[in-house]
Amino acid sequence: MSAGRPGFAALAAASALFLSSCGANARFERAVAAEKRGVYPRAAELYQDFSRRYDRDPRSAEALYRAGKIYQTQFRRYAEARALLESAARRGHALGPGAELWMRLAREAVFHCPDYFPMRPGLKWTFVDSETGGKNMTQTLTGEGGESYHVSFQIYAGKNLVQSGKKFYLKENWQLFETARPGVLKDAVVVLKYPFEKGQSWDSRRGNQPVRLQIDDADAAVEVLAGRFAHCLKVREQFAQAAASWKYDYFAPGVGRVLTTVAGPGFEHRNSELLSFEEPK
């Protein structure tokens, strides 16, 4: 009997491993099936349960990512979505091969949670001067794809076209770059930088001038001609040599910039605001 015990123990261990694997597979498939059926609360719950039970399984990073995306896209509960996506990125990094894809996808998704600057071809924004509602100035912008995402713009004084051109945008390393030439980041201004929290600040350049940018409010509400927008970022941009004045850009989730103001100690005045926002059909 004693001679047979090691074989029995090995068999028992193998059986336990097999059952554990089957259990993990079944739990993960139940989560996937719930998501496919559109039962998102249950799917998110099952994904998070899987990540807790099988934290060494490479799929645990995928489970956290999928739960985070559900909170982001279906529930629009961005704080919880960011926490799950950040956990997915850390878990993917720790687990290495087999989970690296989910680490990369999670890192990309965090920057879009929410997306304060959507970059889809066909998006259209129309801005007008706040003082006259467009009698003095109208600006139209259209998102276009290709090798580099860019926004074509036209500025009108009354009905007369006075300026047109393109601005190129790139999201990389949790930053949004704006540049006049595609891919030339040395001339770019960093418009946004993660984390999107009050007090977050960074230095950049606009042209040859150094500028300081800072998030002064991460949950601003603003009403413009296009409607009311909640949970906006209020980003201050100030030239180094202009201590007494600066501008604010307000960025709304899923829309982008909705309002620009000029400000200084004790004052803030509207300059231009969103009149309409159109998504491609």
Domains of the chain with CATH codes: 2-111 (1.25.40.10), 124-278 (2.40.360.20)
Confidence of residue 207 (pLDDT cuts 50, 70, 90): confident
How much of the chain exceeds pLDDT 90, in percent?
83
pLDDT digits (tens, 9 = 90+) for 25-59: 999 999 999 999 999 999 999 999 999 999 999 99
More confident residue, 117 or 4: 117
Three-state SS at 240 = coil
Burial class (CB in 10 A: 0-12, 13-18, 19+), 30: middle
Note the pLDDT of residue 21: 52
Measuring CA to CA, which residue among 26, 105, 28 is closest to residue 72?
A: 105
| Count of beta carbons in the 10 Å neighbourhood of residue 241 | 7
Check whether 16 has a pLDDT greater than 90: no
Report phi then psi at 35, rounded to 5.
-65, -45
For residues 180-201, give the mean pLDDT: 91
Q: Reduced to 3 states, what is the DSSP secondary structure of residue 206?
A: strand
CB under 8 Å to 242, separation ≥6 — which residues?
none
Q: What is the mean pLDDT of the chain?
A: 91
Q: Is the pLDDT at 17 greater than 60, yes or no?
A: no
Mean pLDDT of 5-9: 53
pTM here is: 0.84
- Ordered alpha helix ranges (H), the chain: 5-36, 40-53, 59-70, 78-95, 100-111
Which has more pLDDT, 89 or 3? Answer: 89
Q: If pLDDT is split at 50, 70 and 90, which confidence band does 14 have?
A: very low
pLDDT classification of 98: cutoffs 50, 70, 90:
confident
- According to the model, what pLDDT value does residue 15 have? 47
| Closest listed residue to residue 254, CA positions, set 84, 139, 107, 112 | 112
142, with CB counted inside 10 A (0-12, 13-18, 19+), is middle
